[in-house]
Structure 1
Amino acid sequence: MSETFVFYEVEGLWKRKFPVSVVSLYGERSRFLAEHMRRSTIPVRHLGIPAILPIAAAVVRRFFRQPRQVGHILRTIVFHSWRDLEMRLENYWACCCGIYLAEQFRREGVQHVHGAWASGPATAAWVIHQLEGIPYSFTARATDVRPPDGFLAEKLADCSFARADSSFNVPHLASFLPEQQKDKVCLVYNTVTLPSSEQAPVHMKPPYRIIAIGRLIEKKGFLYLVRAAGLLRRQNVDVEVTIVGGGGQMHALRAEAEAWHIQDHVHFTGALPHDQIGGMLHQSDIMVMPSIVPEGTEKSDGLPTVIVEAMSMGVPVVSTNVASIGDVVKDGHTGLLVAQKDAAALAQAIRTLAEDRDKALELAANARNFIREMFSAENTLGRMQEFFCNNALPR
């Protein structure tokens, strides 16, 4: 539950007195949890290394009790064509966790299982359904389904409903289903906790404070932001760029900044707890999300939650026309949208906002109003609660 949008959904349902319990297939990882997430009283069952022995015992016990059924599940998972070794191991583990949890959920009278991701969590839910007949659903996010893990069609075929968190993924998921089942794919955006009425001041004075937030991986497109910053500084536009996040591209991004001789104007904070992000956005003039689709892959960014968070605080946004970003960044109305992998276009969009504060504030105000209506907890949580209730086992 370390992903903020998963936490906020569970927290919202919990506050509504909805009977939800949380299971993590992995051990506790609290290093980068925000303080309020650490203080949460929502009970979470963690599996991971401490649960290996009881999980193994449950698999053996279930196999001797139902050898044909468990054998079929194990053969299906073990001999499936997974897209890579990491995905294979994740799903092996999820399968074993599913066998273990099936036993527990039957005793506890669980009426519905929801996987927060389409990969391992959905596989565990599928296994539970095979063994106990408990209905299940899952949320499909960009990194789960583009490219798919190789078992997506089977999980979609047997689920009660599949929730896409961006419009970009709705037709993609539906393409795995026959015509009569396509309507089980539904669009429900991530729940985002919107800040109070306090709004970012957006001073928009030199040096212009540009912020980008996300993992330092290729699909985030931060390389193009560094190049855009280099172009802007060559044009005597005084920008200071802060990139928040950790990941494998740190060295490449630093090297790119040095190549443009702007290493003193591009700052890397590393990964930060989520409760520090709001303060950094509040101090920024423009938030840039330069997402790309890497060459030769299907990997895309869906709808980055940080765009929604920036808009909700009144920070002007520049982004790219990738995946579902256009759902919220309406070019010229709620932000500026440029072609992916185009550093010059990115630089021009940043410069347009930097040199016209009134225009930037107008876009930010439009975006703030739009986001508050579209991503309200009342809207997103209400729909999820309705789906769960309509697809649960009767008492």
Structure 2
Amino acid sequence: MSTAAENAESVGPGPRLAFILHWFPKPSETFIYDELSALRRRLVPLDLFTLYGPWSGHLSPDMPAEDYPVRRLGVRATGLLVRDILFWLRKNGTAARRLWRTVPWRKWSDPEMAGENLWAFLCGFRIARLAREKKVHHLHASWANGPATAAWVASRLTGIPFSFSAWAGDIFPPDGALSEKIRDSTFVRSTCRSFVAHLQQQAGPHADKIHVIHNGQDPSRFAPVEVLNQPRLRLLALGRFVPKKGFAHALQAAAQLKKEDVDFHLTLGGDGPEARRLKRWARDLELEERIAFPGFVPRQQTDGLFRNTDIFLMPSVVDPAGDRDGIPNVILEALLHRIPVVASNVGGIAEVIRDGDTGRLVPPGDASALTAAVRDLAQHPGEARAMAERGRQLVLREFNLETNCRKLLDLIARHSKGGHE
């Protein structure tokens, strides 16, 4: 049975859009929540389809889902998926049979990616029927992996144009169908310039479909704070506890600062599969009195952490599978608070943290360089504050939520379908 939220509809001018996601809302995807909220404020007619059921973990109170027109699939929708597969075999048998012969049998990059994309393939039949019924003009997938596969399938069945966003882990490594999805899409939105060459290589003759639109921030949510004016140096790192975040190197840097008798305290906020290992390593390095693990930090509590921070750390690396960060949202948030940042030169981070200009950029996996950069900022607080202010101005110019949302809407409007069968 559909909930009231699933039956709710956004109303307003312009083409009717459907966004396809893994989950909605998801606590680690505040940037997507904010983008969709900005679209709602513009009265964009909007539907959301998720490949899975409701997120069962932590959710911030400021990320309510009940007001959004969300249709969630997941295993409970299996019967509807079967029904709609049969529907499309009757309605558009040529396209449906061609999809069955080609999409499920391709060589996916790994078993996990195969599972996600096969499920997304099935979901595409359901989304196609829902999009047709709702008279959707354009499908946009918020990720280049499973959601884009579902949008691709739905588009092939209905003729409704589709596009997708590419962030980082959804294109590194490519899932096995990225080139075809780019080929058949109307455009691809890369959230950082650093990934354009990679996407263009996948696109081949369709390289002109790649456009850069950064994720955005609402500057009204952030106020500058006073930093580097306390005897004890206050360090902060936030993110999921997964290998690509490189938090083990933050612990190594903390151990080195302790050896140098630097008075500091590190807050390492987040949760994930590496939580136990990181806490055990902190004990082994005898950092218990210098480090706090508050666990998952809801968005409404991050402001309090930023207000008690002198330097923000983002020691990202490329993990063994090739996954990496794009432009982590928390870097933008730190700069909007005018907090100096030390980050690794990975993914799109160098587009924001320009070494010696808007922060300190260090080689990935180099704890000694991370330590030296922290020490340098602490010893030169005036220069550190000036870098943070330049970083803040860069974020205000290039990462404005409303501006970048308008750019995305402009692209969609140029490629949306005017009518329906």
Using structure 1 for the length normalisation, give the TM-score: 0.95
Q: How does 1:1-395 map to 2 (within 5 A)?
A: 1=24, 2=26, 3-29=29-55, 31-38=57-64, 41-179=67-205, 181-196=206-221, 198-295=223-320, 297-395=321-419
Ranges in structure 1 where 5+ consecutive residues have no aligned partner:
none
CA RMSD of aligned residues (A): 1.6
SS in structure 2 at match of 1:78: coil
What is the Cα deviation at residue 300 of structure 1? Answer: 1.4
Question: Given residue 274 of structure 1, which amino acid in structure 2 is its aligned partner?
Answer: R
The answer to whether the Cα contact below 8 Å between 2:237 and 2:314 also exists between their aligned partners in 1 is: yes
- Deviations along 1:180-224, one digit per CA (max 9) or x if unpaired, are x21110000012222446212224423211110111111111111
- Deviations along 1:58-114, one digit per CA (max 9) or x if unpaired, are 112322444442222123222111122221111111111111111121122111000
Write out the 4+ residue segments of structure 1 that deviate beyond 3 Å after TM superposition.
Answer: 64-68
Q: How far, CA to CA, are the matches of 2:183 and 2:60 in structure 1?
A: 37
Ranges in structure 2 where 5+ consecutive residues have no aligned partner:
1-23
Q: How far, CA to CA, are the matches of 1:356 and 1:220 in structure 2?
A: 27
SS in structure 2 at match of 1:293: coil
Using structure 2 for the length normalisation, give the TM-score: 0.90
What is the Cα deviation at residue 390 of structure 1? Answer: 0.3
What is the Cα deviation at residue 281 of structure 1? Answer: 1.4
2:3 aligned partner: none
The answer to whether the Cα contact below 8 Å between 1:30 and 1:38 also exists between their aligned partners in 2 is: no
Q: How far, CA to CA, are the matches of 1:269 and 1:196 in structure 2?
A: 22
Q: How many residues end up aligned between the 2 structures?
A: 393
SS in structure 1 at match of 2:234: strand
SS in structure 2 at match of 1:80: coil
The answer to whether the Cα contact below 8 Å between 2:216 and 2:402 also exists between their aligned partners in 1 is: no
The answer to whether the Cα contact below 8 Å between 2:104 and 2:121 also exists between their aligned partners in 1 is: no
SS in structure 2 at match of 1:240: strand
Q: How far, CA to CA, are the matches of 1:304 and 1:87 in structure 2?
A: 23
State, as a whole percentage, how many aligned pairs show the same letter: 34
Q: How far, CA to CA, are the matches of 1:71 and 1:219 in structure 2?
A: 39
Question: Given residue 243 of structure 1, which amino acid in structure 2 is its aligned partner?
Answer: L
